[in-house]
Structure 1
Amino acid sequence: RLWKLLLGAPDRAHTIDQYVRTGPSWPNSTSHLVPLTHWHECGRKPSNGCLFDVIADPYEQQNLAPSMPSRFLQMLSRVDALQQTVYSPVRGTKDARACTIAKANDGYWGPFAAASSA
């Protein structure tokens, strides 16, 4: 088996954005869905967690966290241990100029904030 554990960020109520299946050319033409409007809670308890066997269930339709709480908690414990060694800097607040520049650059991000002069 190949397990996948999804965890939403605590500061976002443990939600996962883009909780959807994709088509061969989605989101361009095979679906009318807007990915950011389809979210799902993936919490830290078996009752609201998200655990999948991606070999048996490649579309991740059968959530196994409630029926396999020991597997879920074992993987969660491992994630918590590994998280202690992750460098995750504060990235600042959202800035709408980033989207403006990405649109101007055909979808690619580029510099959008002037460097402050000291």
Structure 2
Amino acid sequence: MFYLAYQDEGRLLAGKPVLIAATAGNVAEAYTPAGQNRFSLRELLRPLEATAHRCGLAWQEPFLIYETRKADTEALQLAGEHYAGRISRLPRPVPEPVREPIQALHAANAGLRLLAGTSLARTTG
């Protein structure tokens, strides 16, 4: 979740949903203060949530599955169906209007000089 130029790239992410899917081979109880891992998977994902917030993304409740190392084909199939359902229910962001390519080029090159014999004029083809 990194962008170089906020105006040209980063702002386009604002409001878009982000859904993290994570699997754990161990039981859910291992991800408790008294468990082997001391922290829940949700707590372990908090840095990603903070980054999503910083980027203006709409954080969604993570899709988490435990005991995947013991899961049979049927259980994995069911989990995949649930995941597909979650994805299909994600909020749809309103797309931003697209700037004309020539406007973007002018904005990106503001203050630059053109080489002799070149032009930024739009051609029709």
TM superposition score normalised by structure 1: 0.23
Higher helix share: 2
CA radius of gyration, larger in: 2
